[in-house]
Structure 1
Amino acid sequence: MPPPFGVLPASSVPSAPPGAPTHDLRPGQPDVSAFPVRAWLRATRHVLSTAPAEIFTACDPRGRIELRTDLAGYLARTRGVVTTPDLIVVTTGFVQTLNLLATVIDGPVAMEDPGHDFYREIVRRTGHDVVPLPVDELGARTGTLASSVAAAVVTPAHQYPLGVPLHPRRRRTLRDWAVGGGLVIEDDYDGEFRYDRQPVGAFQGTAPEHVVYFGTTSETLGPALRLAWMAVPPALIGPLAETKLHADAHTEVLGQLVLARLIETHDYDRHIRAARLRYRRRRDLLLARLAAALPGARFPGVAAGLRALLVLPPGRMDAAGPAEADLLAACERRGIALRGASPLWQTPGPEGLLIGYAAAPERAYPRALEALAETLKVFA
């Protein structure tokens, strides 16, 4: 879930040239030119022609019951989430979701290292200490979670940014820690976009009473819709509904009902399937082109998602000069929008680039990839 631009200093958000970039390779951004306009219009017409006038009044702070009901069924069917409409809260995006939850819990919060620096800042600003949760090739090292930690924010299906799924043994360790008194906050990052096999099921289904599950339309439809949700344990629904009420009363209603209609008609599923095929082709093209441009570079965890992490070859990574900074500056001069990887580590980590292969429109993507390849050749 990409953060908004301009909220934090430039070093904390995806780097992009001033104004619209010539080549959009921002990580985590979907191809909004492929937004399902016709399906959205059909659903909007249906909602406006059939819904009662009361949809234009204030609604339950948890969200419209129509969307919560459809989400409960959809999440059970596609992600294995165990929940009910009464335990879902609809929000205006991942940022609000995390902020609301951080407001109602107490104690230190463990967050993956590496992980999204912007989201660490959200948790810190609500007054929590952030404890690094190390990640390796098997995912988060859940055995390092201490009993003093109140909650752990994890990305079990596809770790951000290393891309690895959480190993089954570590999933069991995480479940044991949660049942013992911890709270797991599951960011189902890229849950819908896996290319090598069936998507990894949500962790929430293994311990519904101890896991808060986050989802959003930011990467499936577009971040401008401001639609996200969380499925929460019964003990948290009251405090979260009250916090949501005092934050902004409720999320905009018409969009909720249109999304509910898309889920009911399976237009949402069809859109995701088409996007999955499109993004897989783009990923394959990126790997082939950049491997030739920068021999020795690694691309870990590209079996899912909308972006690739390019880890710089050891000769450059260990050099005295700031290889990542040099690359970012060269990309900016060519109008290529992407971001550096080093801010994602709480402890020092390898340098590299996060390259989005979804953001550019279909016709513009090959040109953007060619511009990046030509830029990287200088550093080969």
Structure 2
Amino acid sequence: MLRSVSVPESQTNLGWDVLLDLSGPGGGARHERLARALRAVIRDGVLPVGTALPPSRKLAADLGCSRWLVTQAYAQLVAEGYLEARTGAATRVSWSPEGHEREPRAARVAASAPRYDLAPGVPDLRAFPRRRWAEALRHALTTMPHTDLGVPPRAGHPRLRAVLAEYLRRCRGASAAPRDVTVTAGVTAGVTQVCRALEARGVTAVAVEDPCWGRTRDAVAAAGLAVVPVPVDEDGVRVDLLGGVRAVVVTPAHQFPTGTVLAPARRAALVAWARDVDGLVLEDDYDAEFRYDRRPVGAVQGMAPGHVALFGSVSKTLSPALGIGWHVLPPAWAEACRAANPAAATPPVVDQLALAAFVEQGGYDRHLRAARLRYRARRDAVVAALAEHLPDSRTTGVAAGLHLLLHLAGAVDTAALVRRAEARGLHLVDLATYLDTPPEEPTLVLGYGDLADNAVVPAIALLASLL
């Protein structure tokens, strides 16, 4: 469908209910007083640039005057440059006290979004299944009973909890029943809730992988617990260095950001540690769905469901904008977690039911299969481009997920490199961002999830030119 007129992206008529003082000093004809009142609210910044004014017929009805009076006032302000009028579109404010003219939407988007985004942890937003998700939403709205429109259940809608339990058993090897699943606003929200329960039970510190996703560390600290960094090597987290803590946050399937997978011996050691200290392992199933050289390893939670809490979300598979996650808790911790989080919010019920329908109808599995093929090809393209343009650098991390590590050759000031790249429209992330201590060598965390296929070579070429 084509628009006959270029319509601004915001159709909110913010100027429809503004109070106009038509009795101010100056007198004169009514259209002059109306023009003066509109001019005053524009000059005072009450109506900012881009605000749509009501149609002349609507404003005339509100004021109890003729439409001609309003069109005269609008025409006067258009002539003075305060308003902009186009046939078939709303009359909008085009002047501000600061003198900033309204930028076209394309210019604003270009100014805010980098040309090449190599940030990790972002899926391919272009490939979001809009049509199938819209169908799932429509199905949810047309089939849900009216009782589901009431106050949402605290642990999430029973239907989604049942669907997630079945999915986690089938695809992640988890030990999960619907009663064990709690729907959350994401992994960070879930970790925060469990950490509050830990604090309520007298736990004072939680071990966290070093390096790790920054929000995980923040979630632990926000619950009032001390963060104990534990190193990660090529086999995953160093279980032998957990020390005296009774809880640890890990990403066994695909460690972020090192890209390692927890080795079998370490998995066994982690489970033995949890049983020995009667502790709790908080397993973040980070982008576990994406493994390209073999089938992904199952969740550790399936090995010790009494001592492992499993966390997941659709942020890496569909979109972080959906804000839907979950956790599977050991029975001994479920009630404690609910008690420690009496006001925990859950995602909207309609969205929960849409996800349930999306999974039940096979849309989620089809989306994941297509995404694996797309990400595998894109990762191969990134590795090939790096080999061509930066042959002295090396990459690490298993063939999985949405990122890899690029170890730069020579002495490189990565912080300065990131700043220079940002000025050229290339968004990079320094590994030091996720570490308590600086890395041994200059390293970037390159994400390729949301990088267009035809942008891979130009992005890597630009990085090489900056180096």
Alignment of structure 1 residues 1-380 onto 2, 5 Å = 19-105=112-198, 106-146=203-243, 148-180=244-276, 181-248=278-345, 250-313=346-409, 315-316=410-411, 323-349=413-439, 350-360=441-451, 364-367=452-455, 369-379=457-467
Measured in 1, the distance between the counterparts of 2:120 and 2:218 equals 19
* Residue 18 of structure 1: how far off its partner (Å): 6.5
Amino acid aligned to 1:99: T
CA displacement 1:214-260 (0-9 Å, x = unmatched): 00000111000000000000011112223444133x33111100101
Q: Is the 8 A contact 1:158 1:189 kept in 2?
A: yes
CA displacement 1:67-109 (0-9 Å, x = unmatched): 0000000000000010111111100112211111111102211
RMSD: 1.6
Which blocks of at least 5 consecutive residues in structure 1 are unaligned? 1-16, 317-321
Q: Is the 8 A contact 2:420 2:466 kept in 1?
A: no
Higher RCO, Cα 8 Å, sep 6+: 1
Secondary structure at 1:212's aligned position in 2? strand
Between structure 1 and structure 2, the one with the greater Rg is 2
TM-score (norm 1): 0.89
Q: Is the 8 A contact 2:173 2:302 kept in 1?
A: yes
Amino acid aligned to 1:64: H
CA displacement 1:26-58 (0-9 Å, x = unmatched): 211011111111211221222222110111111
CA displacement 1:111-148 (0-9 Å, x = unmatched): 111112332122112211111111111111112222x2
Measured in 2, the distance between the counterparts of 1:18 and 1:311 equals 30
Count of residues in correspondence between the two structures: 352
Secondary structure at 2:394's aligned position in 1? coil
Provide the identity percentage: 45
Q: Is the 8 A contact 1:158 1:190 kept in 2?
A: yes
TM-score (norm 2): 0.73
Q: Is the 8 A contact 2:246 2:274 kept in 1?
A: no
- Could you list the structure 1 runs, at least 4 aligned residues long, displaced by more than 3 angstroms after superposition: 242-245
Measured in 2, the distance between the counterparts of 1:276 and 1:297 equals 26
CA displacement 1:137-196 (0-9 Å, x = unmatched): 1111112222x2021100111111111111111111100011121110001111100000
Measured in 1, the distance between the counterparts of 2:435 and 2:139 equals 47
In structure 2, relative to structure 1, the CA distance for the partners of 1:291 and 1:98 (3 Å cut) is same
Amino acid aligned to 2:126: S
In structure 2, relative to structure 1, the CA distance for the partners of 1:152 and 1:302 (3 Å cut) is same
Amino acid aligned to 1:257: L
Amino acid aligned to 2:195: A
Amino acid aligned to 1:186: E
